[in-house]
């Protein structure tokens, strides 16, 4: 099998908000097509790491390579055009636009279209004429993911997609994320508070603590080692 290229590489990345450094000396490499979960307690810098990839923070040091090109000083817009997709923790959909309009404004040519998003999330297809502010939390989350997908990213970042959702909706999201993980060439980073879900959805999981990566390894190993999970994360098997 041909060796897969490196999709994303962080080297010595320190970043934060203004003078404040939140993430420190982060090294991380993902091959094209990889799915990675990030777990860690509240406030350890998971969102800040994703925000740094998108260009929403102050970079203090380090390199961020997307397909081998250093994007660390690029604008957010340019990163999106170059293939970074982001599903923010707050979802941030347009409340006065319909589902269809929310998708249409983000669409760029490629594999993912409104039709393929509606195929992934049949619930959104049913609600396509509904306004953003009429949607349930689960539907808003599906729309946030769909909106990132129609931008046809090579690297998709998702920040706590299951947060605050009912178990039955989480099941629907899990099915979708599994389909995405199996999509040829799509590289994914999934920040997830639910450790059980995080370990089940990605073959590799990193644990963050106080702005640093404190563990990086196979999810299966961590799954079978609740003591280490408890020590690193404080909520074994949750
Ligand atoms: N916009 C911001 N301005 C200043 N500090 C922030 C901002 N967002 C987050 N922080 C701080 O950065 C740290 C990490 O937060 P965050 O990345 O949101 O953690 P997590 O996603 O792991 O819960 C926290 O101490 C938080 O208070
Ligand atoms: Mg967060």
Q: Which domains does the chain have, with CATH numbers?
A: 1-81+199-238 (3.40.50.300)
CB atoms within 10 A of CB 231: 13
Closest ligand 1 atom to Cα of 44 = 22
Nearest CA, atom 7, ligand 1: 17
Distance 55 CA to ligand 1 centre (A): 15
* Pairing assessment for the beta strands 204-209 and 187-191 based on DSSP bridges: unpaired
pLDDT at position 3 is 62
Ligand 1: residues whose CB is within 6 Å?
17, 20, 22, 40, 42-48
Question: What is the position in ligand 1's atom list of the atom closest to the CA of 45?
Answer: 17
Sign of the four-CA dihedral 56, 61, 62, 65: positive
**Average pLDDT value over all residues in the chain:** 93
pLDDT at 233: 74
Pocket test for ligand 1, best of 21, 41, 47 (most atoms within 8 A of CB): 47
Q: Each residue of 114-170: pLDDT tens digit? A: 999 999 999 999 999 999 999 999 999 999 999 999 999 999 999 999 999 999 999
pTM for this entry:
0.94
Which of 156, 85, 153, 149 is CA-nearest to residue 113?
149
């Amino acid at each position: 099998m041909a060796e897969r290229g490196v999709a994303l590489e962080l080297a010595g990345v320190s970043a934060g908000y203004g003078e404040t450094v939140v993430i420190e000396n982060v090294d991380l490499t993902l091959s094209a097509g990889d799915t990675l979960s990030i777990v860690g307690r509240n406030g350890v810098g998971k969102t800040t790491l994703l925000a740094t990839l998108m260009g929403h923070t102050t970079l203090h040091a380090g390199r961020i390579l997307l397909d081998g090109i250093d994007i660390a000083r690029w604008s957010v817009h340019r990163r999106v055009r170059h293939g970074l997709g982001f599903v923010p923790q707050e979802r941030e959909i347009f409340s006065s636009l319909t589902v269809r309009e929310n998708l249409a404004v983000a669409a760029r040519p490629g594999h993912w279209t409104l039709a393929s998003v509606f195929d992934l999330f049949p619930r959104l297809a049913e609600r396509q004429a509904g306004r953003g502010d009429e949607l349930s939390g689960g539907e808003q989350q599906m729309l946030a993911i769909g909106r990132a997908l129609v931008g046809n990213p090579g690297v998709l970042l998702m920040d706590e997609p299951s947060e605050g959702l009912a178990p039955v909706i989480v099941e629907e999201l899990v099915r979708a994320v599994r389909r995405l993980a199996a999509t040829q060439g799509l590289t994914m980073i999934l920040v997830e508070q639910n450790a059980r879900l995080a370990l089940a959805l990605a073959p590799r999981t990193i644990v963050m603590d106080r702005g640093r990566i404190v563990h990086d390894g196979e999810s299966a190993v961590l799954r079978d080692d609740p003591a280490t999970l408890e020590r690193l994360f404080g909520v074994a098997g949750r």
